Amino acid sequence: MEASNKRIIKVSLPIILGNLTQMMLGIIDSAMVGSISAILLAASALVNNILAIPFIMGMGLTFAISPLVASANGNKSYKSCAHIGFNGFVLVTIFAILIAVGLDWGSSIVYHLDQDPEVAAASEDYLVIMAWSSLPMLMFLALKQIADGLEFTRTAMMLSLLSIPINTFLNYIFIFGKFGMPEYGLYGAGLGTLISRIIIFIALLWILLKAPQFQKYRTDLSSSLTLEVSRLKELLRIGIPSSLQYAMESGAFAVSGIMIGWFGAVQQAAHQIAIGIASLTFMVSMGLSAAGSILVGNALGRGKVNDVRTIGRKTLIMGLIYGVICAVFFALTKDYMPYLFNSEAEVVAWASVLLVLAGVFQIPDAIQAIDIGLLRGLHDVRIPTIWISLAYWVVGIPFGYYLAFYQGMESSGIWYGLVIGLTVLSVTLTVRFFKVSRHSPIME
């Protein structure tokens, strides 16, 4: 294996594991409440769909931090790394507070989305607590992007791994009312998630401020912990389009989930199973995307322009191979995986159908995710945002709606639309990367 392959794997693997563990928290919540009833599983899906757009926008804002930190680190400008990180952290924290307050005040939205009345009633309190748990999670992700940009990717990974047993234990206590606690049900899953997220945020903050491996970045720290308009603008220049990119994507999936809810709680629960599993496997693609962004940014900072296309090509090949493996795995296990979440025959039958489609879209989904990361490393975010909006909202969602409601395919029609949109996006963004990496003024 060539050095560039090894470096991609070295940087991406801890990010992948960290992403997987965070997704596992959602899977654990779904599995534990799904064991109680399909109504609670569908309520969990509804809240996840509502939270998706604002939370992913917050995540997109954090993604501006790592390539800028990586470029500064590649240029050995260690003070700038801290300054970028602090300004990015403040931006993300403000945005996270706005999300939490807005969703708290607007929690009654669950009654206005034409969902099953029982599902809506079970969702409101869960939406409120999950909205507030977004605050420590986004603050944690902002700190994670600082560490990842410095290529200390194992730091956040270890904390994410630690959060799994913590969250599972807290869920057990609060969902089922153990050790003298009331039986909170779905709200208990949110309470466990909130506490576990607070713990890992505080732990990562302490590590960045105290651990010796970050010492050189803390030199003259007091002057680095200042807000600067030019720095904030730089972060927003990348962060806002990145937020919009992920909002376009997550919004498409959220709207798809809401439309599937119009077919009833059974198909909504089946969709939650399929999208939960697909989201878990997608974290590998996200890890490769983040690694590509960091390594491209670092290469630019070091002036190693020729490395950019090599990094991009090798990362895309890894993503393609991974997507094919996922497609085969989903097809082989479609009749078994749904039972991990729910045993109701109708739910399992629909989930099996949707898992096949989820497997197919793993291929273009991996490619487009990696392309987005590579282009972000080149600071190219405006045109990709336009392509993303067109692929999902002009192609994927309308086509899925047509198949679902006019061709009688119901929830599977929505998923066919997503596959088509992702395929269009993967092709256009790949062409964009190889064009920009050859001709971008940034690289001259």
Residue 444 in any domain: the answer is no
Q: Cα(420)–Cα(399) distance, rounded to whole angstroms?
A: 8
370 contacts 289 by C-beta, under 8 angstroms: yes
Number of domains the chain contains: 1
Q: Please report, in tens digits, the pLDDT of each residue of the chain (444 residues total).
A: 344 677 788 788 787 877 777 667 767 777 777 667 777 877 887 887 788 778 888 888 898 898 888 888 877 788 888 899 999 999 999 999 999 999 999 888 888 777 778 888 878 888 999 999 999 999 999 999 999 888 887 888 888 888 888 988 998 898 888 887 887 878 888 899 899 999 999 999 999 999 888 888 888 777 778 888 888 888 988 888 888 887 788 778 878 888 888 888 788 888 878 887 887 788 889 889 988 888 887 777 666 767 788 888 899 999 999 999 999 999 998 888 888 777 778 888 888 889 999 999 899 999 999 999 899 888 888 899 899 999 999 999 999 999 999 988 888 899 999 999 999 999 999 999 988 877 644 443
Q: Cα(419)–Cα(363) distance, rounded to whole angstroms?
A: 9
* Cβ-based neighbour number of residue 438 at 10 Å: 10
Residue 73 in any domain: the answer is yes
Q: Cα(319)–Cα(274) distance, rounded to whole angstroms?
A: 20
Long-range Cβ contacts of 274-279 (<8 Å, 24+ apart)? 274/351, 274/354, 274/355, 274/357, 274/358, 274/415, 275/45, 275/358, 276/26, 276/27, 276/30, 276/341, 277/27, 277/330, 277/337, 277/355, 277/358, 278/330, 278/355, 278/358, 278/361, 278/362, 279/23, 279/26
Query: What is the per-residue pLDDT for 322?
Result: 94
Query: What is the per-residue pLDDT for 118?
Result: 81
Q: How many CA atoms lie within 13 A of 383 on its CB side?
A: 14
Helix then strand then coil, in percent of the chain rounded to 5, is 85, 0, 15
Cβ-based burial of 268 (10 A; exposed 0-12, middle 13-18, buried ≥19): buried
Q: Cα(67)–Cα(380) distance, rounded to whole angstroms?
A: 11
- State the residue range of the domain holding 25: 3-439
Residue 172 in any domain: the answer is yes
In sequence order, what are the residues at sequence separation of 6 or more whose Cβ sits closer than 8 angstroms to the Cβ of residue 418? 252, 253, 256, 357, 361, 396, 400
Residue 184 in any domain: the answer is yes
Q: Cα(167)–Cα(104) distance, rounded to whole angstroms?
A: 22
Q: Cα(17)–Cα(397) distance, rounded to whole angstroms?
A: 31
Q: What angle do CA 47, 53, 58 make, to 5 degrees?
A: 115
Query: What is the per-residue pLDDT for 66?
Result: 87
Residue 206 in any domain: the answer is yes
Structure tokens at 300: 């630019």
Helix spans in 35-77 (H): 38-62, 65-74
Residue 363 in any domain: the answer is yes
Residue 301 in any domain: the answer is yes
Query: What is the per-residue pLDDT for 301?
Result: 67
Query: What is the per-residue pLDDT for 409?
Result: 87
Residue 78 in any domain: the answer is yes
430 contacts 387 by C-beta, under 8 angstroms: no
Which pTM was predicted? 0.75
Cβ-based burial of 172 (10 A; exposed 0-12, middle 13-18, buried ≥19): middle
How many residues belong to the chain? 444
Virtual CA dihedral for 401, 261, 280, 308, nearest 10 degrees? Answer: 30
